[in-house]
Amino acid sequence: MGYRILETEDIPAYLRERGHWDEAADPEVREVSDGNMNRVFLATSPAGTHSLAVKQALPWVRVAGPSWPMNPDRADAEARAYDQVAKVAPDKIPAIHGYDPENYALVMEDMSDLEVLRTLLNEGAAYGPNTSARVGEFVAQLSFATSDFGMPSAERKALIAASVSPELCKITEDVVLSEPYIEHEHNHWHEGVADLAAKFRADARLRTEVADLRHTFMTTAQALLHGDLHTGSIMVGDREGAPVVRVFDPEFSFVGPIGYDLGLYWANALVSEERAWALGSLSDHGDQLRLSWEAFETEFRRLWPTRVDTFFDDAYLDRFLRRVWTESVGYAGTEIIRRIIGFAHLTDLTTLPDPAPASRRALLLGRELIVRREELRDVTAVREAVASLG
């Protein structure tokens, strides 16, 4: 039948055609699209006893419209990533009921009983003790299993080939890892940071360091990444009295540097800390980088004895983890900066009564994380960089 763009009224028949809905009554459907890229619908039985989510990739960037075309096969990358995570961390992703490659549509668990982590944080909630630890474990479990430590060499080469995602990687190479440092029509900023935006564009040292991180992003095939692991890609809540953390939306997935996933999460945690600082509501924000790194490192080291290639010795593990740490610090800096002077901004800052003071602090921190990433060798050093903002 070919690719058809689904509208709200199409969803009941679509779910029946695909074998996902056999109840007598049609579901009630509402569109809940929220991210920059895709459409999401929730379908719920009239009695509220059965529900599903349908996510479809459009042939353009949703928030930009047809003027920014984008290959919908990014949904293939998302489905592939979910397949990989389901093998090693099924408790940390939504249940996937089916993928329809012809229409670039995923049918998955309705998670509307959970909350998007960013939304909760913006409302003043704390992270709590589990969230960052689960995220750190998620990165370790996915990255170990899809690295040369967790997968035989030939299988890995096939994964790398299957996971090549040129258009989505190009978005990151552009909107995260170059545009904020040059004049570009995508860029915009709050007037209270205009001087810093201009300064960063003229900052040769910063630009060279970002070029290094960009090249690492383009050339390093360590493991399968989520690729866009910000706090809007994580849902949290309680089910039957137990804390639940679900990572979703891995459409930017490809085989790249592990530090890109950790760095994105850290950047978003640090920006949430700046929001809380501005509102005088700091709680556990400053502990999230440590909690996620410790959980990542502990889980990666726990998996290490299971590695498939023992030429990689224990000393090499230490060296490898050091490299992941340093690159994570750098990518955290790039994510902070692009979220303030690039294309896609964060509500953490934009919804503040005055976004300027926290945005300025975050920009300065971002620069420090990039240019001093080799010196910032542990969590304490990063916390000192935050403290030095005053």
Residue closer to ligand SR1 (CB basis): 3 or 60? 60
Rounded to whole angstroms, how far apart are CA atoms 196 and 215?
24
Window contacting ligand SR1 (CB under 6 A); options: 33-41, 97-105, 211-219, 314-322: 33-41
Residue closer to Mg ion (CB basis): 34 or 155? 34
CB of 110 to Mg ion, least distance (A): 18
Alpha carbon separation from 32 to 20, 47, 215 (Å, rounded): 19, 20, 36
| Binder of residue 77, out of Mg ion, ligand SR1, none (CB less than 5 to 8 A by kind) | none
Q: Report which DSSP code applies to 150.
A: T
Rounded to whole angstroms, how far apart are CA atoms 332 and 343?
17
Rounded to whole angstroms, how far apart are CA atoms 238 and 247?
15
CB of 34 to ligand SR1, least distance (A): 10
Number of residues counted as binding Mg ion (CB under 5 A): 2
Three state DSSP letters for 62-108: CCCEEEEECCCCHHHHHHHHHHHHHHHCHHHCCCEEEEECCCCEEEE
Residue closer to Mg ion (CB basis): 214 or 226? 226
Window contacting ligand SR1 (CB under 6 A); options: 89-97, 130-138, 167-175, 202-210: 167-175
Residue 53 near residue 40 (C-beta atoms within 8 A): yes
x/- map, 195-234, ligand SR1, by CB under 6 A: ---------------------------------x------
Residue 42 near residue 29 (C-beta atoms within 8 A): yes
Kindly identify the residues of this chain, within the stretch 330-349, that bind ligand SR1 according to CB under 6 A: 343-344
Q: Residue 175, interface with ligand SR1 (CB under 6 A)?
A: yes
Rounded to whole angstroms, how far apart are CA atoms 260 and 266?
10
CB of 254 to ligand SR1, least distance (A): 13
Task: List residues binding ligand SR1 (CB under 6 A).
Answer: 35-37, 61, 171-172, 175-176, 228, 343-344
